[in-house]
Structure 1
């Protein structure tokens, strides 16, 4: 069902009604758990959402990953069992929502976007990911299977770094870091493509290059909408009680990364805008060169046309017509005028 039809379906319902809103059909909901504390690790998939309760009630760090928004009962369970406000659950199910953070007394809800750059289609593909922080339990809720969080899972499984010995706040940092790193990778890739377009444009500023510039300009605007609110999210997260001081230090690193991404995105947008100016300047210069050649040719032929017009008149009494040398003299005059004008234009550096 299209987003427009879903919005119509949602119209008239009371606030907090759980209705999926997105560009594509909601995929089947799948739930997986990673539960760890030091050397202890449990990773499994669950069939019923109620099966997560024994893990979330323990002192270990529990990462509940939900893929797919098809089963509304899963989100009703989160709402009722963990006390997440219905309006926030409603926002999670609306995949068109702007990235944001909501900080309440005992939990935090964040909505972000994961991005991938599709070079063949020249567009940004995005997927919404919502993060709920509740004590030592972290929920990540995605539209469909596939994400950028596999490095985090690998670090937990193989006990790499400090993650298995840190709090849930460190897991939140790791998830945010993976998402922001993907922003950086894709923004650098887009920036590199724009530089290549600039080189192509200098060699051949045709309509294909113009179309590519417009595509990348729109991509820059789209990426800016996704990335810009993340700085606000990280700043808000640094002020919450769910993040301890040690994890707060790591969040500053993510904050530095997102600033780098923002700078890269702004540079990309500026480059695309500048390329448009350069393109139109190149086309204008090219047109000016053509007009200059045409003007010179026209200017040369004006006096020749004048002379030919005079001697093309059908008068009986034209003195020059009786002269034997009149024809070669006229030709010589026209050739001399042509050469003289070309030399004059050359001296003026008009070509």
Structure 2
């Protein structure tokens, strides 16, 4: 079932209904838990949301990751046991949702987009990731297996950067940092690819290159739409009790990265627009060269056609026709006129 059909299915249902809107990617819902405090860490996969949520009662930081958004029982558990409002559950299930942050009294919901650039198709693959932060627990929701958060998992497993001794807010920062770093990597990759096609476009300004330019322009616009709300999310997150003073400094670094990404995205858009201008200029110059050659050929043949027209007339008495050398003389005149005109055009630098 496609997204349009899912949206149609929601029509007439009460607010907060558990209807998934997205691609049918995950056939099985997978739930994993990483629970840590200091030198103690436990990582495991669980079968039920109830087992995962039992870790929230411990005095430690708990990261519950849910892959696959089709299992209604999982969301009923998050709604009933964890106390998340049904309307926010509905937002998580709608993978077409705009990135945003909702700050409530005892928990926070963040919706973000993870992106991957496909250089072959010149397109952006994106996946929504939703985070619920409550006390010392973070629940992440993904459409399918695979994300950009593996560096964060490795930091926790190997206890890099003292992450296990930091607060829940630091884990939120680490996840945001990984997502924004991916934005930066992909935006730089896009900019690099645009530079590569510039020479190709100047040498061979055909429809294939034009389509590539339009695709890059669309990719830049899509990336900007996903990145721009992240600044608003960070601003909202800074005002919550989740972020302490120490973590706030790290979060400002992510904010700087977002600005950098936005600069890269704007540069990508500007480069694409400039390439379009260069493309049309190249096509125009190529057309001008063709017209120049055709004009020179036409100009050369005007006097030749005149001479041929005169001696092609069916008059009975034409004195030149009785001369023995008339034919080669006419040819000589025509050749001389052609050479003279070519020399004249060359002196004028018309070609």
Superposed pair shares fold, TM > 0.5 = yes
1:25, distance to aligned residue in structure 2 (A): 4.6
1:281, distance to aligned residue in structure 2 (A): 1.0
Q: Does 1:72 align with 2:72?
A: yes
Distance (whole Å) between structure 2 residues aligned to residue 80 and residue 245 of structure 1 = 32
1:26-45 to 2 correspondence within 5 Å? Answer: 26-45=26-45
1:175, distance to aligned residue in structure 2 (A): 0.4
Cα-to-partner distance string for 1:99-119 (whole Å, 9 max, x where unaligned): 111111121101001111122
1:185-264 to 2 correspondence within 5 Å? Answer: 185-264=185-264
Distance (whole Å) between structure 2 residues aligned to residue 157 and residue 101 of structure 1 = 28
Distance (whole Å) between structure 1 residues aligned to residue 293 and residue 199 of structure 2 = 27
1:83, distance to aligned residue in structure 2 (A): 2.2
Aligned to 1:106, the other structure's residue is in SS state coil
Do 2:35 and 2:60's aligned partners in 1 also have CA atoms closer than 8 Å?
yes
Distance (whole Å) between structure 1 residues aligned to residue 182 and residue 327 of structure 2 = 80
Distance 1:91 1:14, change over 3 A: same
Which is worse superposed, 43-52 or 175-184? Answer: 43-52
Q: Does 1:174 align with 2:170?
A: no
1:298, distance to aligned residue in structure 2 (A): 0.4
Aligned to 1:307, the other structure's residue is in SS state helix
Aligned to 2:160, the other structure's residue is in SS state coil
Aligned length: 351
Give the structure-1-normalised TM-score. 0.96
CA RMSD for the aligned pairs? 1.4
Distance (whole Å) between structure 2 residues aligned to residue 25 and residue 252 of structure 1 = 35
Aligned to 1:82, the other structure's residue is in SS state coil
Aligned to 1:124, the other structure's residue is in SS state strand
Distance (whole Å) between structure 2 residues aligned to residue 118 and residue 327 of structure 1 = 69
1:26, distance to aligned residue in structure 2 (A): 4.8
Distance (whole Å) between structure 2 residues aligned to residue 315 and residue 253 of structure 1 = 94
Q: Does 1:147 align with 2:147?
A: yes
Do 1:107 and 1:242's aligned partners in 2 also have CA atoms closer than 8 Å?
no
Do 2:26 and 2:145's aligned partners in 1 also have CA atoms closer than 8 Å?
no
Aligned to 1:17, the other structure's residue is in SS state coil
Show structure 2 runs of 5+ residues with no match: none
Which is worse superposed, 128-137 or 207-216? Answer: 207-216
Cα-to-partner distance string for 1:41-97 (whole Å, 9 max, x where unaligned): 111111111112331122211111111111112112112222222111101000111
Do 1:136 and 1:168's aligned partners in 2 also have CA atoms closer than 8 Å?
yes
Aligned to 2:58, the other structure's residue is in SS state coil
Distance (whole Å) between structure 2 residues aligned to residue 65 and residue 261 of structure 1 = 27
The answer for the alignment partner of 2:323 in structure 1 is 323
Runs of 4+ deviating beyond 6 Å: none
1:124-163 to 2 correspondence within 5 Å? Answer: 124-163=124-163
Distance (whole Å) between structure 2 residues aligned to residue 119 and residue 53 of structure 1 = 40
Aligned to 1:54, the other structure's residue is in SS state helix
The answer for the alignment partner of 1:339 in structure 2 is 339
1:228, distance to aligned residue in structure 2 (A): 1.3
Distance (whole Å) between structure 2 residues aligned to residue 239 and residue 27 of structure 1 = 38
Q: Does 1:348 align with 2:348?
A: yes
Give the structure-2-normalised TM-score. 0.96
Do 1:19 and 1:90's aligned partners in 2 also have CA atoms closer than 8 Å?
yes
Do 1:115 and 1:127's aligned partners in 2 also have CA atoms closer than 8 Å?
yes
1:172, distance to aligned residue in structure 2 (A): 0.1
1:326, distance to aligned residue in structure 2 (A): 2.9
The answer for the alignment partner of 2:117 in structure 1 is 117
Cα-to-partner distance string for 1:269-300 (whole Å, 9 max, x where unaligned): 11112111111111111111011001000000
The answer for the alignment partner of 1:282 in structure 2 is 282
